[in-house]
Amino acid sequence: MPCKDAMIDKVISLTPDLTIEEALAILEAERIRTAPVLSKDNTLLGMFGFMSVMKKVLPVSVTMADGLEHLDFARGAKPDIANRLKDLKAKTVDCAMDEKPIVLSPDLSVWEGILKLTKHGSPLPVVESQTNTFLGILTEQSAITELEQITSGSS
């Protein structure tokens, strides 16, 4: 069974020129954590969510590869982090989105899709390999729902 059978194809998406404040409002209103960022021709540009914002408010010395692993010594940094969030909200989505998300191809087996969900978290975008055209997202719920439908169908 391929991933395209288990994916959700009607999803809330964002555009790169939205401000982060607007994008966060959409995520909150739609009660979702992450959404794909798409171009006008439906190409996947990246993924944006609350986690993207959290990563951006942390100092780069922590988020970069081989950076600091702990910040428990950094007391008194709270106002600074709050200010960073305030500054960040005025910027656009393309400044904070994950530009190289893990993507799934529509013909990938659901087993592999589930394995990637357990490794990289949910949701994962499904795109056409050649064109990067966005097709949908595979989530924990959509994968489990599809598996349940198979077992209920076979019984």
Partner 1 sequence: MIVATVILVAAYFFIITEKINRAIVSLLGAGLLVLLGVLNFELVVQGIDFNTIFLLTGMMVIVAITKESGVFQFVAIYTAKLVKANPRLLLIALAVVTALFSALLDNVTTVLLVVPVTLLLTDQLKLRAYPFLFSQIFASNIGGTATLIGDPPNILIGSAVGLSFMDFVEWVSPIAILVLVVCLFIFDFIWGRKMTAAEEDKQAMMQYNAFEAIEDKVLLTKSLITLALVLFGFIYGHGQGWEPGTIALTGAAFLLLLHTLGGKPEEQSHAVHSAFNQVEWETIFFFLGLFVLVSGVEHTGLLKIIAGKLLGITGTNVELAGMIVLYASAVLSSIVDNIPFVATMIPLLKAMQTDLGGPQAIEPLWWCLSLGACLGGNGTLIGASANVMVASFSERAGQRISFMQFLKLSFPLMMLTTVISSLFAYIVYF
Complex with partner 1: residue 80 or 148, whichever CB lies closer: 80
Nearer to partner 1, 74 or 115 (CB): 74
CB-based contact 133:13 (threshold 8 Å): no
Q: How far apart are CA 63 and CA 35, in angstroms?
A: 21
54 makes contact with partner 1 (CB under 8 A) = no
Please give the backbone phi and psi of residue 78, each rounded to the nearest 5 degrees, phi first: -55, -50
Q: Which stretch binds partner 1 (CB under 8 A): 15-23, 57-65, 89-97, 107-115?
A: 57-65
Q: Which residues of 50-78 are buried (b: 16+ CB within 10 A; e: fewer)?
A: eebbeebbeeeeeeeeeeeeeeeeeeeee
Cβ nearer to partner 1, comparing 61 with 152: 61
Q: Confirm or reject binding of residue 75 to partner 1 (CB under 8 A).
A: yes
Binding residues for partner 1, rule: CB under 8 A, are: 59-62, 64-68, 70, 72-77, 79-80
